[in-house]
Amino acid sequence: MSLLAITLWLLFFFSSSVVHSGAQGSSRGSLGDGICATSVVVHGYKCQELQVTTADGYILSVQRIPEGRNGNGNNNNNKQPVIIQHGILVDGMTWLLNGPEQNLPLILADNGFDVWISNTRGTRFSRRHISLDPSTPAYWNWSWEELGRYDLRAVVEYVSNQTGQKIHYIGHSQGTLIALTSFSEGKLVNKLKSAALLSPVAYLSHMTSELLNVADRLFLDQLIKTLGIAEFSTRGIPFQSFLNQLCAQPGVDCSDLFTAITGNNCCLNSSAVSLFLKNEPQSTSTKNLIHFAQIVRSGVVAKFNYGRGDQNIRIYGKASPPIYNLSNIPHDLPLFLSYGGRDALSDVLDVQTLLDSLKFHDVDKLSVQFIKDYAHVDFIMGVNAKDIVYNAVISFFNRFN
């Protein structure tokens, strides 16, 4: 999605909340009210709050749910570890907003998996660094490229070392992009058993929302870059008047922004949506959003384009950034892809482009699920996601245990 598209998503949730940018308050960031305490232990599950440090110094929050509510099998060494990675502008809490019978981490735990929830840098519980402070621009000098190179690698290696086993991986939205690009370079593949990609995001040229299409043409990413804003947070920028002007554009319907931006989600629980509004969105870097905008405008998945040939040459040895060749993903890596017919961000045509990159994948190692009525958020909060998506993911994993 483009930077402005993401901006508008944030506007929907926090358009009335504008405060000075900087460190987030304790109500959103203290470890005392962390994910384990608020969303796992309260349902009768064991949960550990852990920290993983990346090679570039970011300290990530990770939650481990080692067993199901009934303790199904106390020997964790025999359980299959699975890492769950959230998308952009949210954190690991989003997987847990429905009740235990409907949310993915607890369903996996009850089915005998050793569950690890990852939280990317910059989100409320992953705002620490060995030397950098989140109030400084240097802390925010990263995009999804670094999330794959450092965050994903650190968590996978940590879980691998702790369990001594190969790992199943589940990503949603941005969590699929960082996995696909890493796999295409042969990274982490030897530590994984399989990967499930929900609402896969790689190519972004066919977003269906007129709201997002109009937004993309306004190049807000360049404006924010010019203003020197490194941390992208609704708490720092007064967007409401701009949103009002955008919604007045011909063909733009802002009567339901949630649907206009993510697609017509079929199956959301109103109480889970209320919890979502209380907990999200999370901060990300402006550089990350610019990198997403580059995908939209270029039509390719490439490393970050610094916009100057000399700077690209210094970093990459060439004037343009290298393109990720997703067809290089090892053909024998088991992949499960699930996408929806109403998803305004992971559009059907863009997913078809991704699938075309996988056309030489081993037939018995690639499973593709299309859900006609699903949009972007249904995959993480749909009340029927267990029956439609999660059970299919578990069956796929069990084929390779």
Catalytic residue among 110, 114, 343, 378: 343
28 membership: H or E segment, kind and range: helix 26-29
Sign of CA dihedral 264, 240, 126, 155: positive
What single letter denotes the amino acid at residue 198? L
Catalytic (active site) residue 135: no
What is the C-alpha radius of gyration for the chain, rounded to an integer number of angstroms? 20
DSSP 187-202: -SGGGEEEEEEES--S
CA-closest candidate to residue 193, choices 333, 10, 339: 333
Beta carbons of 232 and 142 less than 8 angstroms apart: no
Sign of CA dihedral 27, 33, 103, 95: positive
- Where does 181-268 show beta strands of DSSP type E? 192-198, 231-232
Cβ atoms 153, 182 nearer than 8 A: yes
What is the C-alpha to C-alpha distance for residues 98 and 385, in angstroms, rounded to an integer? 11
Q: Is 56 a catalytic residue?
A: no
Catalytic residue, candidates 39, 126, 376, 378: 376
331 is catalytic: no
Measured between alpha carbons, how far is 279 from 294 in angstroms, rounded to an integer?
A: 28
Cα 55 to Cα 164: distance, rounded to the nearest angstrom:
21
Q: From the candidates 2, 173, 285, 338, which is the catalytic residue?
A: 173
- Residues annotated as catalytic are 173, 343, 376
